[in-house]
Structure 1
Amino acid sequence: MQPCHIHAHRLFRRRRLALLVAGLALAVPALLLTLLTPSPAAAAAPSPVPLPSLSATTTQVASGLKRPTALAAPDDGTDRLLITEKSGRVRVYHPDTGLASAPLLDITSAVDESGNERGLLGIALPPDFAESQELYLAYTALPDGAVTLARYRLDASRLEPLLSQPHAEYSNHNGGQLAFGPDGNLYWSIGDGGGSGDPFRSGQRLDTLLGKIMRIDVSRACAPLAYCVPGDNPFVGTAGARPEIWLHGLRNPWRFSFDRADGSLWIGDVGQGHWEEIDHLPAGQGGLNLAGPATRARRSSRAATARPARGTPSRSSPTPRTPAAVRSSGVTSTGAGSTRIWWAACTSPPTTARPPSGRCAPTDGAATSRPRSAARRPR
């Protein structure tokens, strides 16, 4: 029996969130975190804790999810978690009442969930969510698999597509992370269009949103757009370039998160054959090419400890690919003395390089798997 469920992880000792994300992502490449604002006490932790001294405990708190892909924690006093399922539903979990049977919303009629990596992939809640009752979703849309960003209004049960990128040739590398940055803008990641080796060279082209992280202002509209492009985006005014682009040269940035201690950006970019990649960028540093000459040189030489060239992001050591035992998404919340990580996962045998676990589905209140399609993490 291979369940889809929610875990609460508790890590003891106060530490910088940047070190927490780096350590966990290196230890478990598939677990990439979407960070929430920590308490002032946690953010002011004076020094990092050495990785070997960290300890963790895990408690399963809910089950019965069908291929959960992302989590969000509304800052509205309800203590609930919103969990996206690949098929196009958003489920609600509450610590007191568990997983609600009825979804918060259902956009399955608009979502293309064919293949292992298509579906409802991301969710983000704006700072004014408690008042606006609006949330943002990233998904692959019917009928053609276009990667789509949309606003959903809970008070009107209305889906409003805002921005779309064609993605029909291959079903993989859709990215799908959404997050509001410290600047209040919405950031969105899209993969390079799939296949292997970036056959369309999408990551290096500025005329497409494939292989990029975008940055837009969804708090207002600039006709004919349903959003505005911040004037300080790096490619505003560049001939032939999409002005929404914030970063380029990515392969499949399945998850990224902002460190609320210093506003820096952590990006988990899915590797192809040998390495997984984690990029760490200073706050507000847009316009970088994450597959530029300096990066290629470090990859070729495997010089993991080489000092990055000026103006390039720091990177973790190339991490050898390991069997993907968990495909998961998480959020963290930090209290005095400890950090709690909520994460949803479909588990599979860790000894299988390409886990044959199937679609997670509840049976008599328990989650089971059916060996139909591989539920491995994006590649």
Structure 2
Amino acid sequence: MSAYFPFQECSPYAAHLYDAEDANTPMRVLPGLCGDYCSDYWLHCRYTLSLLLEDLGSPQHFANLTATIEEDRRRFCDFLELKDKQYCYPNVLTDAELNANLGLVREDPKGCLEVCLQEVANGLRNPVAMIHADDGSHRFFVAEQLGYVWVYLANGSRIDRPFLNLTQAVLSSPWTGDERGFLCIALHPRFTTVRKAYVYYSVSVKKEERIRISEFSLSEHDDNQLDHSSERTILEVVEPASNHNGGQLLFGHDGYLYIFTGDGGRAGDPFGKFGNSQNKSALLGKVLRIDVDNNDEGVPYGIPSDNPFIGEQGARPEIYAYGVRNMWRCSIDRGDPATGAGRGRMFCGDVGQNKYEEIDLIIKGRRLQDICLLFFLFFLP
């Protein structure tokens, strides 16, 4: 009997094998077996079940479970069998349709791409961001919501000491759905020479919730650690509610830092006379653009000279675009490999309320609701 089936969590069809697609049913602890295979497994190897289960939970719980089912083939296979004959193990490995061109990146007739996924890190707790050093070292950094940032080397190993540890400062809670915490990290676009990193996280100041954007310098003695004493607070914005914290930081091709804030929380953008998102005197619900290199006179940041609302009465000069609800992650278009067309365009996913989600193209000076809804991800009933 093959001992390979317990490791099907790496299968591209793991969601089927572990019955993880239906939120109303408990996820299986082992992949589902085909009926004939389960009968053979029971006949030849049933006493190995306890060994497979011993690391998955309470040893006593699984000891009691296996003792009650291993002598009864029907109960044994009720526990392990997956009724779907196409996706059960080992049929899923030999099904011609499921395995045709598996792993190849290609377009289907409608232009959609198949995407291959590869695990590069595990054992993380609520990872929220991953960035590349882009300095020739082939390192990458993974941030956790609790306030850790870890360094992974080119060989896949993780350095024991965190790149950054802000767990004592970050505002978070044990609540599973808490949107606060350490939300993003970005490296200076000239990181090889300007050895600085920028972070976005939630804090509590005199019992007032805020989002904080800070700058850290790389340690003079260790390229795999930031100097924790070097923190320079660039911007703080009061958060009237605990949700809709935004959370994206990135540098554009223009070298400026873009900050994506949420609208302040609750449903319907209720704060202020007409909410935050459409209010250009508020920094919440916005795409902000600042110059982190222009602070010679002690100011925390400079304002790019072509920011769209400079000089407009009542408008904050940091604002690049407005009408944002809760943009969580954004990406910059690398452009067509041959022509460069589209290079530098910025796309962001904005979290919807109860009708739809959207992906927006960020255009300087525009109100995002006017830009148009580029892509409907799903509709709720």
TM class, shorter-length: 0.5 to 0.7
Shift, 1:165, TM fit: 0.5
Counterpart in 2 of 1:318? Answer: 376
When residues 51 and 265 of structure 1 are mapped into structure 2, their CA distance, relative to the original with a 3 A threshold, is farther
Counterpart in 1 of 2:282? Answer: 208
One-letter identity of the residue aligned with 1:235: F
Per-residue CA deviations over 1:264-308 (Å, capped at 9, x if unaligned) read: 110110001120011124xxx3111113xxx4xxxxxxxxxxxxx
Matches of 1:139 and 1:51, distance apart in 2:
40
Counterpart in 2 of 1:258? Answer: 332
The answer on whether the counterparts of 2:355 and 2:380 sit within 8 Å (CA) in structure 1 is no
Residue 268 (structure 1) aligned to one of 344, 349, 365: 349
Per-residue CA deviations over 1:196-240 (Å, capped at 9, x if unaligned) read: 010111001111110001000101205452110011101111111
Counterpart in 1 of 2:64? Answer: none
Per-residue CA deviations over 1:45-74 (Å, capped at 9, x if unaligned) read: xxx986555222222232111111111101
Shift, 1:257, TM fit: 1.5
Shift, 1:100, TM fit: 2.5
Residue 366 (structure 2) aligned to one of 288, 295, 298: 288
Matches of 1:166 and 1:226, distance apart in 2:
17
Per-residue CA deviations over 1:16-56 (Å, capped at 9, x if unaligned) read: xxxxxxxxxxxxxxxxxxxxxxxxxxxxxxxx986555222
Shift, 1:6, TM fit: 12
Counterpart in 2 of 1:173? Answer: 244
Matches of 1:121 and 1:152, distance apart in 2:
15
When residues 321 and 73 of structure 1 are mapped into structure 2, their CA distance, relative to the original with a 3 A threshold, is farther
Matches of 1:220 and 1:94, distance apart in 2:
32
State the TM-score, normalized to the length of structure 1. 0.63
| Higher normalized helix content (fraction of residues) | 2
| Higher normalized strand content (fraction of residues) | 1
Number of residues of Structure 1 aligned to a counterpart in Structure 2: 256
Identify the range of structure 1 (187-196 vs 69-78) with the bigger mean alpha-carbon deviation: 69-78
Matches of 2:168 and 2:110, distance apart in 1:
45
Q: 1:113 aligned to 2:134?
A: no
Where in structure 2 are the equivalents of 1:124-143 lying within 5 Å? Answer: 124-143=186-205
Residue 211 (structure 2) aligned to one of 135, 147, 168: 147
Q: 1:122 aligned to 2:184?
A: yes
Of all paired residues, the percent bearing the same amino acid is: 39
Shift, 1:174, TM fit: 0.6
Alignment gaps of 5+ in structure 2: 1-8, 13-106, 220-226, 336-342
Where in structure 2 are the equivalents of 1:52-201 lying within 5 Å? Answer: 52=111, 54-114=113-173, 116-143=178-205, 144-155=208-219, 156-157=227-228, 158-167=230-239, 169-200=240-271, 201=275
Per-residue CA deviations over 1:246-267 (Å, capped at 9, x if unaligned) read: 0101100111121121211101
Shift, 1:83, TM fit: 0.9
Counterpart in 1 of 2:62? Answer: none
Matches of 1:189 and 1:87, distance apart in 2:
20
Alignment gaps of 5+ in structure 1: 9-47, 296-312, 324-379
Matches of 2:329 and 2:280, distance apart in 1:
21
When residues 51 and 111 of structure 1 are mapped into structure 2, their CA distance, relative to the original with a 3 A threshold, is farther
Q: 1:238 aligned to 2:309?
A: no
Aligned CA RMSD, in angstroms, stands at: 2.5
State the TM-score, normalized to the length of structure 2. 0.63
